[in-house]
Amino acid sequence: MADTQLGLRSGATPLAVRMRPRSLDEVAGQKHLLGPGSPLVSLATDKSGEQGSVSVILWGPPGTGKTTLAQAIAHSSGRKFVELSAVNAGVKDVREVMERALSDRDLYGLSTVLFLDEIHRFSKAQQDALLPGVENGWVILVAATTENPSFSVISPLLSRSLLLTLETLSDDDLGIVVDRAVVDPKGLADKVVLEADARAAIIRLASGDARRALTALEAAALSATATSETGKPVITAEIVSLAVDRALLRYDRQGDEHYDVISAFIKSVRGSDVDAALHYLARMIEAGEDPRFIARRVMISAAEDIGMADPQALLIAVAAADAVQYVGMPEGRIPLAEAVVYLATAPKSNAAYMALDAAIADVRAGKIGRVPKPLRDAHYGGAKKLGHGKGYLYSHDSELGVVKQQYLPDALLGIEYYRPTEHGNERDVAARLEKLRRIIRGQA
């Protein structure tokens, strides 16, 4: 079947653009933002403007529907829609939009929705140019950003806008998007057959990004050939693999492979096999695993398996998680790789969290006891008369910075929860801890 019959001829509008919803009812996902009476729904249904003009900032990963929501609001409400991109728009462009919006409002009673994509790329001066129009209601600003607005949007604009966070689309949401594109007249018009394995592969490769899913579907449709049975091009998992130039991994984000690979990843880091750790990291990334899930596991590994042997490991893991949140994928793989290499090659110790677990076990078993009187708060009424705080020794008054004093309840005197290893930084901690305990117990 010729590509022209599929609407996929050279130079045609991309499938992702053709399938963009024209109303909020067609939007897949983001149900937490689209309930009855929500700001976006009110904005879309308030054709008269009687409910005011609340500007919004949409924050979320690529392909989650920021542009779609903005255009659906404009189409649903009947307002004039103007779109600018921070990549190529300047202060002059913003001011021209503001002037036209003010004129349209005063002369024709027509309100304007200004959609500003990638607002985080705007400088402070460019964002300042938006303030008069937003503050005076000349325009309803719908701005989109993939970066944390707290760091990329000026405070005056944030305070005048409603911040709405978009979530990565679920597999079910992506399934709706893909299925609709196959049968919709604006899409492939039911002129192809999409096999179940191919559908699952497209959803997996999209990793929560609707635009990526539709792009992969379009590329696969271009490569598909008709069969004698259906007379239609059939999209198979193999064709999807060839079309997107990526091997299809057996990986179900809700199934055994998800748990097996992350288990192997954590155990490889713990076992200091950096090459294996990177292999499993690559498998998760290529399979479309949620990078935030990977980052969370990296942070847990840093605290659980490296701990006090190298306290810097947790800082690096947290920094990698922040970087993934700010820059997204695929660039987010770079700080993840750095963190994984650091953790895998770092000295290992689980002594810190094992110490806490032992303490928790004692608390649950009822080994608690009263807080020693010198350590109790003496500020509330009558506390001093009860002897609270009496005899407390202020550590900073000592030349050593530590004094002989009872900190544990009587029932736990002499117990030692934390037992540092001889690995990495804990070797030094162990030597210092022995001296501290001797001083505190008056054995020095």
Domain boundaries, the chain: 30-165, 170-243, 256-345, 351-440
**Looking at per-residue confidence, does 47 or 95 come out higher?**
95
What is residue 168's three-state secondary structure?
A: coil
Superfamily (CATH) of domain 30-165? P-loop containing nucleotide triphosphate hydrolases (3.40.50.300)
pLDDT at position 246? 58
CB neighbour class for 46 (10 Å; exposed up to 12, middle 13-18, buried from 19) = buried
Q: What are the residues whose beta carbons fall under 8 Å from the beta carbon of 101, sequence distance 6 or more?
A: 80, 82, 111, 112, 114, 133, 138, 139
Which residue bears the tokens 């596991």? 297
With residue 74 as reference, give the H or E element that holds it.
helix 66-77
| Residue 204 banded pLDDT, cuts 50, 70, 90 | confident
Using CA atoms, how far apart are residues 173 and 176, in angstroms rounded to an integer?
5
pLDDT at position 2? 45
pLDDT score of 11 more than 90: no
pLDDT score of 421 more than 80: yes
Cis peptide before 132 (omega within 30 of 0): no
Average pLDDT of every residue of the chain: 85
pLDDT score of 276 more than 90: yes
With residue 414 as reference, give the H or E element that holds it.
none
User: Which of 135, 28, 18, 117 has the alpha carbon at shortest distance from 70?
Assistant: 117
Average pLDDT over residues 194-200: 91
Q: Is the pTM of this model over 0.75?
A: no
Backbone φ, ψ for residue 153 (5° rounding): -120, 135
CATH class of 170-243: mainly alpha
Highest mean pLDDT among 83-97, 211-225, 374-388: 211-225
pLDDT score of 360 more than 80: yes
Please give the angle made by the CA atoms of 324, 327 and 333, to the nearest 5 degrees: 50
pLDDT score of 314 more than 90: yes
With residue 113 as reference, give the H or E element that holds it.
strand 112-117
Domain boundaries 351-440, corresponding CATH code:
1.10.3710.10
Number of Cβ within 10 Å of residue 30's Cβ equals 23
The answer to whether 205 touches 244, Cβ cutoff 8 Å, is yes
Using CA atoms, how far apart are residues 431 and 427, in angstroms rounded to an integer?
7
Domain 256-345 adopts which CATH fold? Zinc Finger, Delta Prime; domain 3 (1.20.272)
Average pLDDT over residues 59-81: 78
